[in-house]
Structure 1
Amino acid sequence: MSPYNYERFDAYVESGLDELEFGRFPNMLHAGEQAPDGELTLLGGARARLSRLWQRRGVMLEIGSFT
């Protein structure tokens, strides 16, 4: 297995093609944008608000494919 090609990915982002491609989905949340607050179910089953978790430490949401 080879490592992810960051140079190629960075060139794609710097070219602006990512904005053109993802601009077709104006009502979607995109990478780097603030997620709306909401209630989440944690892995252990407990419920928590995203804003409360964010106050304590950084939060990453995985929605769909994570590569």
Structure 2
Amino acid sequence: MKKTTEGIETRELNLIANKGGSGSVGFKLSVPKPWAAALGVDLNNRSVVASFDGDKIIISGIKK
């Protein structure tokens, strides 16, 4: 689902779950290519900064 409200694009995304050999579970998120490009992310620069405030995760590009 994709919608735009007040200039903010919102999409419903699914997390990718992976289970380690010790039984621990981790999650990954696939980010749409246009969003990654807007953050300055490409195959040679894949680093971002993620912040969590207990309710929201905010992903920001790294200014170089």
- Of Structure 1 and Structure 2, the greater strand share is in 2
TM-score, normalized by length of structure 1?
0.24
Larger radius of gyration: 1
- Of Structure 1 and Structure 2, the greater helix share is in 1
Highest RCO, 1 vs 2 (Cα 8 Å, sep ≥ 6):
2
